[in-house]
Amino acid sequence: MDKIEKSSLRTGFLLMLACTIFTSSGQMFWKAGALRINFSDPFSFFNAPFILGCLLYIVGSILMILALKKGELSMLYPIIATSYVWVSILAPFFFPNESMNVWKWAGVLLILFSVILLGWSSSRVAKMQRDLP
């Protein structure tokens, strides 16, 4: 793998990671905005947290598109699963009724391990394919 290709993969990885941070933040704001929504009042959807959540999701989507231009889908897409990690860890800080327990922590660790394993195996397969005559 040449230097330019490694740089492109690294950029794709960082963009996808940023995508998960933006979309996870968007989900947190959606939750805060959803608490303000009253279905008998259609204008209640136009509250600041809900709109900010939508904007964060749009930025996350743009970052995902840019990331996918830089690298392989099979290597980058598993990173999306880290969105669950961000939300699980941060939700208890913003919503008092949310909490982490042993099972949730086990799930977070399993997700992280799985993402690492998928990324590593994808890079190994890609390397083997490039080395073929």
pLDDT at position 34, please? 92
> Domain locations in the chain?
3-131
Q: Report the phi/psi class of residue 101: left, alpha or beta, with left for phi > 0 and alpha for psi in -120 to 50.
A: beta
Q: What is the pLDDT of residues 56-105, one digit of tens each?
A: 999 999 999 999 998 888 888 888 888 989 999 889 999 989 889 999 99
CA neighbor of 22 nearest in space, from 59, 54, 77: 59
Q: Is the pTM of this model over 0.85?
A: no
Q: What is the pLDDT of residues 9-40, one digit of tens each?
A: 889 989 999 999 999 999 999 999 999 999 89
Q: CA 95, CA 93: separation in Å to the nearest integer?
A: 6
pLDDT at position 59, please? 98
